[in-house]
Structure 1
């Protein structure tokens, strides 16, 4: 898992946050390709690494936000033996939310397997409602958005 310059397929040649994930046997379904639900796991894994490596979040107790939306557009089937590269890009910051987009590609060939999006909302678990993004976290998000 790395933050590095990557030029795979149509990725622009610039700094991008990417995570490499080998396809596991358990990811394969009866149709002999990666099950659709696993694509969301790949995006979650990449998003978690983004939080850890770029935001310095190392504990679940530090996650004061929830996943409000997740979507995936499937482009090509992923087979066993592939290693996928998941690119995570912060694309928008709102009052209480922030959005990521994802590209899931073949490490070897650059084939685009899927694109996705997620929206996270900062959340007060006691009050059970959204709250504005805390200033310190917002500043960190804004710094990352400026790099995107």
Structure 2
């Protein structure tokens, strides 16, 4: 990957200039050391939670990434500020330095809408085959997702005074953009739009426009489900999103059957999005949706 790092003020760690994912985690009493501030161990716990959410966002389980697992080789932590009870820590996640068998995960922790620094963490990650009990090369499918630009990168905002206005009033990670299923569908949409450009000479223009039109409705319906506080309306929007997903699945199958292009990876991606839609629908029906913001 070619993301240039941002130089930290201390020069000890650097966070890449672009990142892939953000999450927000509230600080609990149990996270505090001596009932004062977040402990060393709790910072690592927060990072572990963020890394699990990141891989779920990518559509993976950390124990099954194209048949392999990941392990941590080493970690570097730079502390920059306190986390107190009821703080909401924003964790930006970036992936960089894809090598033959390893890559680096970066975690930048901040609070108060990114106006206060908390810490920087860098972890060297290896792919590991537990059957063979050895480190293995990074799966080509995993590498292609990043080197091919499939996952959209966000410019990393500055941390500090004035940064609260860089990403708008919700600071990127709040509202519907916090939903894993919305992020997956949004990234899928951007990828599909790029893919449609490469299909122009192979697929009927009217079919391409229909694919683009249907795909754009998928994240729209998910955002609509988040936006309403009426449960029945939430359910309707999610079910409409599932209808659009199935329509899109058929259109991609049609493109494949016409024999001009191969959208097999995109069909797999729709399976992942559908799985997350089912989870979101279940949360709505059990009244848990407002816990995921």
- Structures share a fold, TM > 0.5? yes
In 1, Cα distance between the equivalents of 2:95 and 2:62? Answer: 21
Highest Rg: 1 or 2?
A: 2
In 1, Cα distance between the equivalents of 2:150 and 2:124? Answer: 16
Give the 3-state SS of the residue equivalent to 1:52 in structure 2.
helix
Where does residue 8 of structure 1 map in the other structure?
Answer: none
> What is the number of residues matched between the two proteins?
137
In 2, Cα distance between the equivalents of 1:19 and 1:59? Answer: 17
- 2:120 is aligned, of 115, 122, 125, to 115
**4+ residue runs of structure 1 moved beyond 6 angstroms?**
none
1:29 is the counterpart of 2:26: no
Shift of 1:131: 0.8
TM-score by length of 1: 0.80
Preserved contact between residue 128 and residue 134 of structure 2 (Cα < 8 Å): yes
* Aligned 1:1-148 pairs, distance under 5 A: 16-30=20-34, 32-53=36-57, 55-58=58-61, 60-62=63-65, 64-108=69-113, 110-142=115-147, 143=149, 147=153
Shift of 1:110: 1.9
Shift of 1:37: 1.0
Q: 1 or 2, which has the higher strand percentage? A: 1
Gaps of 5+ in 1: 1-10
Backbone CA RMSD of aligned residues: 2.7
Shift of 1:144: 6.0
In 2, Cα distance between the equivalents of 1:15 and 1:97? Answer: 18
Which one scores higher on RCO, CA 8 angstroms, separation ≥ 6? 1
Give the 3-state SS of the residue equivalent to 1:60 in structure 2.
coil
Q: 1 or 2, which has the higher helix percentage? A: 2
